Amino acid sequence: MPVPEKLRPEQLFNRCDPDAFEFNTTADLDGTAEIAGQERALEAIRLGMGIRRDGFNLFALGPAGTGKQSTVLQFLNNLAPGEARPDDWCYVYNFDKPRNPKALRLPPGRACKLSDDMAHLVETLFSVMPSAFSSEEYQTREKEIEESIHEQQASAIEALEQDAKEHSISLIRTPGGFAFAPLKKGEVIKPDDYMRLKEAERAKIEEQIDRLRDVLQSIMAQFPKWQRETAEKIKELNREVSAFALKPLMDEIRAKYKDLDEVLKYLDDVQNDIIENFIQFLEKESSEQGAMTMLASLRTAGQRQTMIRYRVNVMIDNSELNGAPVILEDKPASQNLIGDIEHSAQMGTLVTDFTLIKPGALHRANGGYLILDARRLLLEPFAWEALKKAIRTRQIRIESLAQLYSLVSTISLEPEPIPLEIKVILLGERSLYYLLSSYDPDFNELFKIAADFENDMPRNDETQLAYARLIGSMAELDKLLPFDRTAVARIIEHGSRMAGDATRLTSNLQNIRDLAHEADHHAAQNGRKEVVAEDVEAMLEAQRYRASRIQERLRDNMMQGTILIDTDSEKTGQINGLSVYSLGDQSFGSPSRITARVRLGKGVVIDIEREVEMGGPIHSKGVMILSGFLGSRYAAEQPLSLSATLVFEQSYGGVEGDSASSAELYALLSAISGIPIRQWLAVTGSVNQHGEVQAIGGVNEKIEGFFDLCNERGLDGRHGVLIPASNVKHLMLRQDIVKAVESGLFSIWPVSHIDEGIELLTGIPAGEMDETGAWPEGTVNAKVYERLKTMAEKQKSFGKKQGDEPDK
């Protein structure tokens, strides 16, 4: 199998030509950011927002920073202005059930007008009502009613008094009431004289007094009835006067809302209540000068309660809205979503009323769109269940959490629920979407559309121009210096590096924005009016430097010999593998020594990392594949009679991934054949049972990690790295590495098969099996085959000797 050619310098970095752009700086662009590379997600958003059916809400999933929120907002901000404005909503007092405030629906902008009209009505009544009840006509009629009962009472008493006089009995008024006394010649008989009267005469007098007393009692029994009749007449008079004073004001308000039946019904209830409780609008005066302050305070409190009773609590005012609302709720707590019922402390007691009902994000977004961060939503207690309930029932029911969960023992309100018509968009990671889909039975029913945002996008002329427009919009929005075409080109190149693919661009717009801010700062410090490629490169280097402390410590330990990494000699069963370390959002590569030892055995390749539980399952799988490759290639017709051990030397933090499986196989082949491996070369790549080298991740970081060590020790033209051929398209290496390759000081080989790699690592041909199944003499494969054959024969001979022992 021929040895692959080294990669050329232009294959190591996909350069973006600044001259391909027609603009000089981003200030020449129109400042609009295009949504590029997210066609799949945009199609899902378009479908989800277009279907007006239950459950067709949207979950936008993808890594953080991919522009989910900005893309959704941009789409909705273009869509919403063309839709109808939703109605206003307000809560009013329920005169039949005070604990259940009524919800009123009004056309946009009319809820606040109703609130103003009711406030003006109450204010007017405090002057109109006292005037009506202090009028001469009212006082005259009230006086007539009161005098009527007095005359009726006086007439009855007068008739009784006349009756008594005709029977020589006097009706006497005393502080304790009425009394009867006999008369003689017009004078009241004295008690002694009365006792000297004949018994028959006394009996006759007492009989008359008893009769008169019965008549008096019957008269007195009618007094409460007459008083009730009088009170009813006065009450009716009060109703008539208050209605007369109120009617013009109410008719004026009714005329404004004659097209709204619910409002008219509410106004009827208000009118009836005011007529029944007109007294609250009458100012009472006191002649007690010392009590004036207290009475004034009580009167103010009473007026305030009256004003609250007839106030309108405007929940949603869409008068200034242009189209459907688009609401982004940053803190989706339960009370921020469905609203809340607040309480106030009065005289040491918590009280509330319908004016303390506060709207939530669902109220503000009703008739439009609500955007929520899924992770923040799930972190808020009760918020997820509250949102699902609102979507499922299609209504917003405000419930006080404190009352619902018995946190406070106060009487609360139960407002009438408001109908809900909304599209909810959740933003979150893919893992969160799949967890909800698997474990929440309501999720798939309520969020039927998934907009899956790409981690990256194809790199072509169209997307590069879209990147330029994106950078221009960032500069305009964030008040940054304009970026010239060289700076834009360098950011695009870095976008490919972040994507880990020279043919694609990252969709992580947050990192691009951060880089733009840093480059702007560097340009401003250097007195430039434009951001150039030098500023971008300086900030990229600053980012690498800030994150390089651990990387430099590892390299220092390698330079000092604390960590053993050989880059000069040739060793049998030893190779330099390449690993990637991830720390937060930064990662770097570093070489690791991998060693293999073989001996006679039963065909087992022991992964020491796995045996001590420091190796992950994927790494263990990669090692087990090696046994399959060795057995099928070299021991198809004979036992695989070796026992091998593999280990990452000086590894103390565990190993995971299969990217070192090709390096481990090379080490095994070297240990079996006895052919040394060139330590100035490092290897990365996974391998399958057919010996094919497969792509791995972090190829740029791995190459750079080995290059940095070799460069510090001194490049001599031999150093290089073997990578999978399928990873060539992912290369976006640093410029110092590209220059080193161009100068012949460093090399990178693309490898497709294990035979290509072993030939590069040993300098000896791998060899290809002929038609008879033999390997060319002197090749690596031939030496491996012969060694395994010898080991199998030894194993067989040992077996025979052990079988002869019982006969001796």
Q: Is 806 exposed, middle or buried (0-12, 13-18, 19+ CB in 10 A)?
A: exposed
From the list 649, 722, 719, 644, the residue with the least C-alpha distance to 687 is 722
Is residue 354 within 8 A of residue 413, CB to CB? The reply is: yes
Sign of CA dihedral 367, 371, 375, 379: negative
CA distance 120 to 307: 10
Contact predicate 361/332, CB 8 Å: yes
- Residue 100 CA to residue 411 CA, distance in Å, equals 12
Residue spans of beta strands (DSSP E) within 528-603: 570-571, 574-583, 586-600
The pairing of strands 449-452 and 58-61 is parallel
**Residue pair 36/462 in contact by the 8 Å Cβ criterion:** yes
Closest CA to 404 of 341, 344, 360, 482: 341
Three-class SS state of 101: coil
Question: CA–CA separation, 576 vs 574, rounded Å?
Answer: 7
Distance, CA of 631 to chain centre:
54
Q: Which listed residue (334, 496, 579, 659) is catalytic?
A: 659
The tokens for 433 are: 């979407």
Let me know if 297 is a catalytic residue: no
For residues 576 and 705, the answer to whether their CB atoms sit within 8 Å is no
H or E, element range at 109: none
CA atoms in the 13 A half-sphere facing the CB of 458: 4
SS3 label, residue 217: helix
Segments of 254-319 assigned E as strands? 312-316
List the catalytic residue out of 641, 702, 747, 783.
702
659 is catalytic: yes
Tell me the residue type at 588. F
Distance (Å, whole) CA 788 – CA 490: 53
In this structure, what token pair is assigned to residue 10? 């232009």
Rounded Cα distance between 513 and 744, Å, is 37
Compute the residue count for the chain. Answer: 808
Catalytic residues: 659, 702
